[in-house]
Structure 1
């Protein structure tokens, strides 16, 4: 199975701060780093580090060539990344001493994907291949619709949340991977059980993966529910935790692992990621997960 990640590519500028900047406040940063990032890039790196055969499609500007190299260095296929964007997408990330993060995004080239590029890319994939998407591109529904028509397996992470996602036809998706805040916004429900019930009602055949931070994760499909506890760790930086989980989970599923094993491996990978600084650089390799 080939995996296509049609996703964002960002330059992450990370500032270490004692607390998030408040309205009207000027705050000095105790540290500064630049990383390859974007939910799309992070998830492609996680998929590749977990052993998947992954192709990344997207767009960058002239200052983003190092993002393409970063993916290639991690054995991600970069043929479908176009270099015709005006400005590469980027993020300003505040990371506190407690490891929490606050992110300001500018879409840039991620918002310049064309219909022509979509067709060129999807022509290279077929029924049974997997499409992974987030909500950082300008063509979400178009890509999902075209891939659904081709019979691809659709895995979607509704991040960042926007009003348009409330109109998304969840029945077209195979996997919906989201955290508790995204589920609350999407379903307009605060209680986990009500969130799951509403999602199941909208799309009975949907495979739901609901991550709950330190409380672990719940997987639910039409015939079963599986829970997985998180692995305790020292929290340094939570930036790529969700992306790491998603990449490892889908990679394990794609290579035929049982759902229970996929959840365990993904949870362990995410716990290692949050014990390290940075986004894609914090994502562990498969050999690290296998060492128990």
Structure 2
């Protein structure tokens, strides 16, 4: 079983479903409201755990009822939460999601997720060194992201960096990450003036651009490869990218070749968007194996 460490956000999602979005100053009646578990870090951790990874979470939650529920949810998904800190000076993180026509708009409040520090990463260096792969995203303080990627590069630890939500970072940092997985809009923010083809050619087997329903684009060192998505009818696309990242991480950490790892991630994402909620649709390995698209050559260790 692959040892995967996820450093990132742990949040509660407050989801409103509506047919229209209100204008400034306008009040409308929505269709539904749900509270679900989220945070890009927690989402990716759960996606990886359900697919067979041995996952440890590093992060922080508040000393509030939401923090209690978030920790319980991670534990129930077989994730080690020993290094998730409880803080008293900040509330647990939250995301406020408007779902309309099978697409979403999100306002993210970091809260306790901003309490993760560089000093904590230094203290946890032996745990990072013992992992097969580390995942980190941008719902974590920038200095922590930089510390983890540089530490991984210096110590030959595989680091998967998902630069979401998008923010400008130095190009040298991207070169030090083992795998780099922006979506199309994040790519264009980070690489202004470059086409997707130019970007993946510059970073072969490192840069993987997720293109939603089109699939995932990367360069294998010899040619550009577009790994198509699996065509399904989506119910809720929230968490699809996180599902891909968690699944891709499990496959790569298990020694699966890159293109097969991308297909494995695409299949997991396609299953996730057929159910409601960021984590609600994330498939188990057994559910993946029941899919007619599951490949017999995929062996998760």
Per the alignment, residue 193 of structure 2 pairs with 189
- For normalisation by structure 2, the TM-score amounts to 0.89
Give, in angstroms, the shift of residue 28 of structure 1: 2.0
Query: Are 2:120 and 1:117 equivalent residues in the alignment?
Result: yes
Per the alignment, residue 177 of structure 2 pairs with 173
Per the alignment, residue 236 of structure 1 pairs with 235
User: Could you tell which deviates more after superposition, 123-132 or 33-42?
Assistant: 123-132
Q: Secondary structure at the match of 1:178?
A: coil
RMSD of aligned residue pairs (Cα, Å): 1.9
Give, in angstroms, the shift of residue 166 of structure 1: 4.4
Match runs of 1:90-129 below 5 Å:
90-96=94-100, 98-126=101-129, 129=132
Moved over 6 A (4+): none
Alignment length (residue pairs):
285
Per the alignment, residue 206 of structure 2 pairs with 207
Partner Cα separation in structure 2 for residue 128 and residue 119 of structure 1: 15
Match runs of 1:1-292 below 5 Å:
1-63=2-64, 64-85=67-88, 86-96=90-100, 98-126=101-129, 129-138=132-141, 139-163=144-168, 165-166=169-170, 169-189=173-193, 191-197=195-201, 200=202, 204=203, 207-291=206-290, 292=292
Deviations 1:103-128 (A, max 9, x none): 00111111111233222322223166
CA shift in 2, pair 1:28/1:167, >3 Å = farther
Partner Cα separation in structure 2 for residue 101 and residue 280 of structure 1: 15
Gaps of 5+ in 2: 293-301
Residues 4 and 57 in structure 1, CA contact (< 8 A), matched pair in contact too: yes
Residues 7 and 39 in structure 1, CA contact (< 8 A), matched pair in contact too: yes
Gaps of 5+ in 1: none
Partner Cα separation in structure 2 for residue 54 and residue 21 of structure 1: 40
- For normalisation by structure 1, the TM-score amounts to 0.91
Partner Cα separation in structure 2 for residue 168 and residue 22 of structure 1: 41
Give, in angstroms, the shift of residue 145 of structure 1: 2.4
Partner Cα separation in structure 1 for residue 102 and residue 156 of structure 2: 40
